[in-house]
Amino acid sequence: MVIFQPDVSLTLLINLVEQKFNLADGTQIIPDLFKYASYPVTALIDLFWEKYNRQLCTGSVIDPCTIEVVSMLEHTLNYAHTGNAAVLCKKLMDCSWLSLGLLADGFPALSDAFIALGALSMEQLVVRSDSWPVDSQVCHPLMLSKRSQQLTYGKAHYEVSPVTFLLHKMTTCSKCTK
């Protein structure tokens, strides 16, 4: 066992860590570890891309819930690579169980309330928009992509997004159409 004293230089410590995590052929274990540990999240993002890429190319409108689920998965992947809990939007991601699983034991869990897991086992994506959580203070659906929309497209674009989300929810929700 190696015990580090406060006077050990940082360079020596870095060299020891690099030697421990480098294989004989020069490859590093740490990048591969992130790749393997985050594979399920990456595979799910790839499934979304395969399903919705054609719609994006033709200019079709994609369900706002689908965009938000992909955004949650991207934040999960960011957390896997950075370890920084600041990338997690706890209000929405706790509802989906993603941040709860990540913070509790390091592995994301996904609630069946967001994606039909039975369909997922057959590599079909069914995003459930009828039970999407709503912020009770402002009566808007919880959204993770707010800041990225504001930075990419401007504040005016974001102001339209929750309205589009609500209209979509009202037209697709079985409770709203009765």
pLDDT digits (tens, 9 = 90+) for 113-126: 888 877 777 778 88
Place of tokens 């799910």: 44
Residue 176 confidence (pLDDT) above 50? no
Kindly state whether residue 23 falls inside one of the protein's structural domains. no
Kindly state whether residue 53 falls inside one of the protein's structural domains. yes
Kindly state whether residue 61 falls inside one of the protein's structural domains. yes
Residue 4 confidence (pLDDT) above 80? no
Kindly state whether residue 149 falls inside one of the protein's structural domains. yes
Kindly state whether residue 1 falls inside one of the protein's structural domains. no
pLDDT digits (tens, 9 = 90+) for 62-80: 888 888 899 999 999 988 8
Q: What pLDDT is stored for residue 170 in this prediction?
A: 58
Place of tokens 């991601």: 93
What is the percent of the chain with per-residue pLDDT over 70, rounded to a whole number? 68
Structure-derived torsion over alpha carbons of residues 9, 11, 12, 14, reported in degrees to the nearest 10: 120
Tell me if 80 sits within 8 A of 34, measured CB to CB: yes
The residue segments making up the domain with residue 116 are 31-177
Q: pTM of the predicted model, to two decimals? A: 0.71
Kindly state whether residue 110 falls inside one of the protein's structural domains. yes
Kindly state whether residue 9 falls inside one of the protein's structural domains. no
172 vs 17, 55, 68, 125, 175, CA distance in Å?
54, 19, 16, 17, 9
* Number of domains into which the chain is organized: 1
Q: How confident is the model at residue 174 (pLDDT cuts 50, 70, 90)?
A: very low
Kindly state whether residue 92 falls inside one of the protein's structural domains. yes
Residue 151 confidence (pLDDT) above 60? yes
Residue 86 confidence (pLDDT) above 60? yes
Q: What pLDDT is stored for residue 5 in this prediction?
A: 45
Tell me if 76 sits within 8 A of 108, measured CB to CB: yes
**Beta strands, E only, 16-169:** 134-135, 140-141
Place of tokens 């594979």: 39
Token pair in block for residue 110 = 């996904």
